[in-house]
Amino acid sequence: MDFYKELQLNLENGIQGMETALILTGKMAGEKMLVRDGETLSFPKEVRVFRERVSCSPKMIICGGGHVSMPVIAIGKMVGFQVTVLEDRPKFADCARKEGADRVICAPYEKALAEEKLDEDTYVVIVTRGHRYDSACLYSVLDRKEECAYVGMMGSRRRTAIVKEQMIQMGISQEKVGKVCTPIGLAIGAETPEEIAVSILGEIIEVKNKKQSKGGYPEELLDGILETREKGEEAVLATIVSRKGSAPRSVGTKMLILKDGRQIGTIGGGCAESEILQKGRQMLSDEKDGAFRLVQVDMTADQAEEEGMVCGGTIEVALEKI
């Protein structure tokens, strides 16, 4: 099966523990493969291989469709989450749809959560209208065998302490209860719904970016690759495979360069990205340029200052024609 088709199928099925291997040097440079959990690959010592864990697109489940949920939906979508809202009141569920949530389930919280798939790429935000609904949602999440990347619950310290104590009395382990972020969000003195949403997303982003997995294949980028291939067109996939210094984006960050001049994703902007875009478009226009190459972009302090950037450093980018 085609690498990208197989990758998409595995992601849709929620298969965990996958890695990809991209051969960077030697006769097989540019070849890539899926490495499943427990599978081992061996290469000669002189061959460089870039391996990365592949995770599903991050999912946010918001329990509650009240006034705080609306900016959480908007900002969550803005930073790349697939957002699902659970709300038992039809009027508030309609508000969540209008705000742009990917999915809205109008049903009792316990029933809706029982039907939701939870995994290590799921971020749960509990912002219901009352104490008993918070308790129901939290228990429904913590009583599952699967663990989420993040579970946060809104409320005062006193209120959330009561709910957490209830969880322990209901048989949830102290360890699980201790991982719940309560009160939810970073302590930035937030007061308005919009400020509270910023504090919540700030905390979630902090948790997400501490995970080992970076880069990967965002849904929009993978869709762009498959659409390009279906049309019989060519594109270039740029992946940061190493970096030194204070380069703006992490190893594994990807950008798709399309033949019509568009791009999907970013590897940090500025002159570094501009150089990669230029080299990628050159590969698309010149058959002699080959189907794979490694490019090093050196942003010294002087160059960074000249471009108005606050960071320098060096990145090595793999360019694959697909």
Per-residue model confidence as pLDDT tens digits over 211-224: 755 567 888 899 99
Enumerate residues 6+ apart whose C-beta is below 8 A from 311. 245, 246, 247, 248, 299, 304
In terms of Cα–Cα distance, which of 84, 87, 89 is closest to 109?
87
Q: Give whole-number Cα distances, 7 to 63, 224, 299, in Å.
A: 30, 14, 33
User: pLDDT tens, 120-134?
Assistant: 889 999 999 988 899
C-alpha–C-alpha distance, residues 158 and 271, integer Å: 51
pLDDT band at 302, cuts 50/70/90? very low
Residue recorded with tokens 């389930």: 105
The two three-digit tokens of residue 89, written as one number: 């009141």
pLDDT reading at 303 higher than 70? no
CB 63 within 8 A of CB 127: yes
pLDDT, tens digit, 9 for 90 and up, residues 70-85: 999 999 999 989 999 9
pLDDT above 80 for 56: no
Give the CA dihedral 165, 167, 168, 174, nearest 10 degrees.
-100
Measured CA angle at 91 (ends 90, 97), to 5 deg:
85
pLDDT the model gives residue 312: 61
Query: What pTM does this model have?
Result: 0.71
For the chain, the average pLDDT equals: 89
Q: Which of 44, 76, 74 is closest to 60 using CA atoms? A: 76
Q: How far apart are CA 104 and CA 184, in angstroms?
A: 22
Mean pLDDT of 286-309: 71
Angle between helix 193-210 and 69-78 (nearest 10):
40
The pLDDT value recorded for residue 131 is 85
